[in-house]
Amino acid sequence: MIKTLDIAAVRADFPILHQEVNGKPLVYFDNGATTQKPQVVIDAMAAYYNKTNANVHRGVHTLSQLATDQFEASRETVRAHINAASTKEIIFTKGTTESINLVAQCFDGFVEKGDNIIISAIEHHSNIVPWQMLAARTGAELRIITANNAGELEMDVFDEILDSRTKMVAVNHISNALGTLNPVEEFIAKAHKFGAAVFIDGAQSVPHMHINVQDLDADFFAFSAHKVYGPTGVGVLYGKESWLNKLPPYQFGGEMIKEVTLQKSTWADLPHKFEAGTPHIEGVVGLKPALDYINKIGVEDIAAYEHELLEYGTEKLLQIDGLRIIGTAAKKASLISFVVDGTHPYDIGMILDKLGVAVRTGHHCAQPVMARFDIPGTVRASFSFYNTKEEIDILVAGVERAVKMLR
């Protein structure tokens, strides 16, 4: 049963929201870039440095053991949050970008000349460039799933380009530039019929919806802690144990080895095979309370409330003369990208900032998306469950004011 969120109580948990920017109350609508942190996350990271600071996995002394326990408790929390089968399938990285690069760099031995790799036309640069480089190194062909005018991927095109030589399909779960919720279950099922592996970029989906990687049946799934109310510099790569065992290590050094001699080395078991060097310990420690926090509130309740914000924001913004929403998929996350005739997104963003409203402007690291819609960029307002309809009213009034100034 969906419950009504106590938004005032939620907002009280986020200290950064209670300030002024340029003399105006902060309205933070840049959640697609990074989310703000609840006090429990800030406290957990401070407590680590105040009481526990030590390197993990390497010491017999008490602090090292305590730090290791906290680090591995976060791994278990992540495993449970996305319903992975084992903590062996949870690799800590520095973000979604590194998670994608890890798999792309390690995949050379599974791709050869004449094979193909499939991505979509609405990917973040981080889910384009690593696969371009893999194709260039191996002589494989990079194939593209096109998008329609609503920003929805065209399944008939995917059916045409998918074949027995497809080795990897890499698509986002939710577009960071358009908000489109992609039918990844269908992509995965179809790709697996041809023996292709599937990588899902979940950076934008984990903050907004329940994820069950076993139900999805994706081979790889990645997300970033900072987009789900945790610290920056921490990412998660989920990989099926069978795939992670086959892939070679991504980096070499301490922790990821089993035995080293001057002649040869052998690798540690999962998940440590892919975690060379001292990790971002306090960041991993901070991820656990972030996930615990949203689970306490309820992911389904968060999703329902954010959908309300999406519908309300869409209705109000479309009342502005000349405003056009870019990305009108039937299924969307709580993100609105828009342009206004006769204005530039950057100029609108600058004026909104003077009014205390934080939005993202530009191409959002998705230049092919902007080329698809023949625009230089958009204004992107991305909502969280700590936002309110009253804040959306402030955004709308700010855009109206900006348009009057710029035309």
Model confidence pLDDT, tens digit, residues 221-230? 999 999 999 9
- Is there a single domain that holds both residue 76 and residue 98? yes
Q: How sure is the predictor about 256, in pLDDT bands with cuts at 50, 70 and 90?
A: confident
Residues 6+ apart with CB under 8 A from 115: 138, 140, 141, 165, 166, 167
Task: Identify whether the C-beta of residue 185 lies closer than 8 Å to the C-beta of residue 155.
Answer: no
Answer whether residue 376 is part of any domain. yes
pTM, full prediction: 0.96
Answer whether residue 35 is part of any domain. no
- Is there a single domain that holds both residue 188 and residue 248? yes
Residue 361, token pair as written in the block: 């402007």
| Sign of the torsion formed by the C-alpha atoms of 120, 123, 126 and 127 | negative
Q: Which domain CATH number covers 259? A: 3.40.640.10
**Per-residue pLDDT tens over the stretch 37-74:** 999 999 999 999 999 999 999 778 999 999 999 999 99
Q: Which domain CATH number covers 394? A: 3.90.1150.10
In degrees, rounded to 5, the angle at the alpha carbon of residue 221 between the alpha carbons of residues 267 and 130 is 75
For residue 374, the cross-strand partners are: none
Residue 97's nearest CA partner among 209, 281, 250 is 250
Answer whether residue 36 is part of any domain. no
- Is there a single domain that holds both residue 253 and residue 304? no
- Is there a single domain that holds both residue 265 and residue 339? no
Answer whether residue 2 is part of any domain. no
- Is there a single domain that holds both residue 265 and residue 347? no
Mean pLDDT of 333-346: 97
- Is there a single domain that holds both residue 206 and residue 96? yes
CA distances (Å), origin 271, targets 172, 293, 327: 24, 25, 38
How much of the chain, in percent, has pLDDT values that exceed 70?
Answer: 99
In degrees, rounded to 5, the angle at the alpha carbon of residue 299 between the alpha carbons of residues 297 and 300 is 110
- Is there a single domain that holds both residue 176 and residue 303? no
CA distances (Å), origin 106, targets 55, 88, 137, 138, 314: 27, 18, 12, 12, 42
Answer whether residue 352 is part of any domain. yes
Query: Is 106 assigned a catalytic role?
Result: no
Which residue in the list 21, 142, 155, 365 is annotated as catalytic? 365
- Is there a single domain that holds both residue 203 and residue 337? no
> Residue 212: is its pLDDT beyond 70?
yes
Mean pLDDT of 228-238: 98
> For residue 4, what pLDDT is reported?
82
Answer whether residue 275 is part of any domain. yes
**Candidate from 85-99, 150-164, 266-280, 314-328 with smallest mean pLDDT:** 266-280
Tally the domains of the chain.
Answer: 2
Task: Indicate the residue among 249, 276, 295 that finishes a domain.
Answer: 295
Answer whether residue 1 is part of any domain. no
CA distances (Å), origin 179, targets 62, 215, 216, 229, 273: 46, 22, 20, 19, 35
Neighbours of 130 (CB within 10 A): 23
Q: How sure is the predictor about 3, in pLDDT bands with cuts at 50, 70 and 90?
A: low
Match 């994706």 to its residue by tokens: 218
Task: Indicate the residue among 253, 275, 295 that finishes a domain.
Answer: 295
Task: Indicate the residue among 280, 295, 310 that finishes a domain.
Answer: 295
- Is there a single domain that holds both residue 13 and residue 50? no
In Å, how far from its chain's centre is CA 97?
Answer: 9
Mean pLDDT of 25-47: 98
- Is there a single domain that holds both residue 290 and residue 339? no
**Per-residue pLDDT tens over the stretch 93-135:** 999 999 999 999 999 999 999 999 999 999 999 999 999 999 9
Answer whether residue 37 is part of any domain. no
Amino acid at the residue 13 = D
Task: Identify whether the C-beta of residue 37 lies closer than 8 Å to the C-beta of residue 293.
Answer: no
For residue 385, the cross-strand partners are: none
Give CA–CA dist 194/37, Å, rounded: 42
Neighbours of 325 (CB within 10 A): 19
How much of the chain, in percent, has pLDDT values that exceed 90?
Answer: 94
> Residue 1: is its pLDDT beyond 70?
no
- Is there a single domain that holds both residue 276 and residue 329? no
- Is there a single domain that holds both residue 322 and residue 338? yes
Q: Which domain holds residue 371?
A: 7-30+298-406
